[in-house]
């Protein structure tokens, strides 16, 4: 698991338009950093509001959970090359060390198995390299129905909503 950097800036920009739909992701400031079929990365910027322990300045574990959950959704969408309604069915996180106070956190993920009803993902939260993780994680997502939408159609639909 390595961070390949920004592979395709135009693809990152398209996914940024989609990810800001979620008020939760917007509030946390989550933004796609690198979008590739084999490793998607979302950045959670350092923000004093996200501190879980005021004495140490360490970010709250819920921020890391939200970061990885969002990154997993992105990895699944990229693997399918379309958007489809889904829900987190199971999410396991192993916290290995605290995040360094004041530093952005990256969440990286890959969708390694895609079925008709389920998607399986794994990933890590880290600062510099997924080889030195803050946390590792695996999850299963369940598709909840509704029509699938291409990324291009979703971006066009969002453009139509802009004032």
Q: What is the pLDDT of residues 79-94, one digit of tens each?
A: 988 888 899 999 999 9
For Cα atoms 101, 124, 144, give the angle at the middle one, nearest 5 degrees.
120
Q: What is the DSSP string of 49-116?
A: GGEEETTTTEEPHHHHHHHHHHHHHHHHHHHHTEEEEEEEEEEEEEE-SPPPTT--EEEEEEEEEE-S
How many other β-carbons are positioned within 10 Å of the β-carbon of residue 57? 15
Instruction: Please classify residue 22 by burial: count the beta carbons closer than 10 Å to its beta carbon, then call 0-12 exposed, 13-18 middle and 19+ buried.
Output: middle
Q: What is the pLDDT of residues 104-154, one digit of tens each?
A: 999 999 999 999 999 999 999 999 999 999 999 999 999 998 777 776 776
Q: What is the pLDDT of residues 31-59, one digit of tens each?
A: 888 888 899 999 999 999 999 999 999 99
What the chain holds in terms of domains, given with CATH numbers, is: 9-161 (3.10.129.10)
Dist. CA 37–CA 111, nearest whole Å: 8
Q: What is the pLDDT of residue 160?
A: 57
Q: What is the pLDDT of residue 36?
A: 86
Bridge partners, residue 141, by sequence: 88, 119
């Amino acid at each position: 698991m390595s961070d390949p950097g920004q592979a395709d800036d135009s693809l990152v920009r398209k996914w940024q338009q989609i990810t800001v739909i979620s008020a939760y992701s917007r509030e946390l400031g989550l933004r796609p950093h690198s979008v590739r079929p084999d490793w998607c990365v979302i950045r959670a910027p350092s923000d004093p509001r996200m501190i879980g322990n005021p004495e140490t300045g360490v970010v709250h574990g819920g921020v890391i959970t939200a970061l990885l959950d969002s990154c997993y959704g992105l990895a699944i969408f990229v693997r399918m090359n379309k958007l489809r309604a889904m829900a987190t069915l199971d999410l396991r996180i192993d916290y290995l060390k605290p995040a360094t106070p004041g530093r952005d956190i990256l969440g990286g993920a890959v969708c390694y198995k895609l079925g008709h009803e389920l998607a399986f993902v794994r990933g890590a939260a880290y600062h510099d390299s997924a080889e030195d993780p803050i946390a590792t994680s695996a999850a299963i997502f369940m598709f909840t129905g509704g029509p699938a939408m291409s990324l291009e159609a979703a971006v066009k639909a969002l453009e139509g909503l802009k004032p």
